[in-house]
Amino acid sequence: MDRSEKGNLSAVKHVVLVLSGKGGVGKSTITTELALALTHAGKKVGILDVDLCGPSIPRMLRVGKPEVHQCDAGWVPVYADAQQKLALMSIGFLLEDSDEAVVWRGPKKTALIGQFVSDVAWGELDVLLVDTPPGTSDEHLAVVENLRKHKVDGAVLVTTPQAVSTGDVRREITFCKKTAVKILGIVENMSGYVCPHCSECSNIFSKGGGEELAKLTGSVFLGSVPLDPLLTARLDEGRDILQVFPESGTYTAISDIANTLLSSLEHTDTD
């Protein structure tokens, strides 16, 4: 295939990395929900799931494990919706079984990431969200290096009230500084617990650390998302909370974050 390095990303307006200092803070959840919220805002969105150790986005979007097809321009992404507004390419589609990637050595992982970044035929997209593995590994460097050939608008950092005080998220910030990736903003996930009976949100852990961290690092605080059992259940069923529970506070929190992110991306267009 004769493709330039930029070819497949040339019609992608914005590329955003989603990073977290450690696993389990809800990075894939936030990526999925932000992508859905952006499609509800009328945007065409892609998700590149390079979380080799635990590709969970196909499950969250209920796309299963489709066969990936090739066209002249590269791998054809899978659409998560009938309107073809949410395109997805995941390492999970290419693995024989979910444990396969865990045993791969560094060079194989980085080669695959390079291919992923340049060989998916995204077509026109408003925003491409890149879900990365947790931490700051060689895989992150490979993602950044390969995307840099095109462009990266910046990174959204996902943290939790507990993780904010640990070194993990600070290492992520240092990683962004060292690789010259702009921090577009910080999201505090699992911020408070929404009662499934009365929808009251209680702060079981201290709140506000994400905002504090944003101030300390001179980044934008994009907002917080509570731990909401409705969201867990919808994710497990592969349904869209934004459609199923449009009245919920969690819906509002996610769409506010998506809108803030969108305006900051569109603002850079006019700079």
Contacts with ligand ATP, residue ranges (CB under 6 A):
20, 23-29, 51, 54, 56, 134, 189-190, 225, 227-228, 231-232, 235
| Strand-pair category, 74-75 with 201-202 | unpaired
**From CA 200, how far away is CA 156, in angstroms rounded?**
27
Residue 198 site contact among ligand ATP, ligand SF4, none (CB < 5 to 8 Å, cut-off depends on kind): ligand SF4
| 24 annotated to bind ligand | yes
Residue 22 DSSP code: S
* Residues 32 and 235 sit within 8 Å (Cβ to Cβ): yes
DSSP-derived 3-state class of residue 4: coil
Give the residue, chosen from 11, 102, 111, 195, that forms a contact with ligand SF4 under the rule CB under 6 A: 195
Q: Give whichever of 104 and 205 is closer to ligand SF4, judged by the CB atom.
A: 205
Other C-beta atoms within 10 Å of 134: how many?
Answer: 21
> What are residue 131's phi and psi, to 5 degrees?
-85, 115
Structure tokens at 154: 């910046």
Number of residues that bind ligand SF4 (CB under 6 A): 4
The reply on whether position 103 binds ligand SF4 by CB under 6 A is no
Query: CB-wise, 25 or 38, nearer to ligand ATP?
Result: 25
198 is in an annotated binding site: yes
Is 85 labeled as ligand-binding? no
Q: How far is the CB of 220 from ligand ATP (least distance, A)?
A: 20
> Is there binding between residue 204 and ligand SF4 (CB under 6 A)?
no
Residue 25: DSSP 8-state: S
Q: Is 56 annotated as belonging to a binding site?
A: no
Q: What is the CA radius of gyration of the chain?
A: 18
Amino acid 46 reads G
Q: Cβ of residue 47: shortest distance to ligand ATP, in angstroms?
A: 12
- CA 89 vs CA 8, 122, 263: distances in Å: 13, 9, 25
195 labeled part of a ligand binding site: yes
Ranges within 122-141 binding ligand SF4 (CB under 6 A): none
Write down the least CB distance from residue 191 to ligand ATP, Å. 8
State how far the Cα of 244 lies from the Cα of 230, in Å rounded to an integer. Answer: 10
> Has 219 been labeled as part of a binding site?
no
Q: Which of 33-41, 51-59, 132-140, 190-198 is the region at the interface with ligand SF4 (rule: CB under 6 A)? A: 190-198
User: Distance (Å, rounded) from C-alpha 142 to C-alpha 123?
Assistant: 22
Binding site as annotated, residues for [4Fe-4S] cluster: 195, 198
Residues that bind ligand SF4 in the complex, under the rule CB under 6 A: 195, 197-198, 200
Binding site as annotated, residues for ATP: 21-28
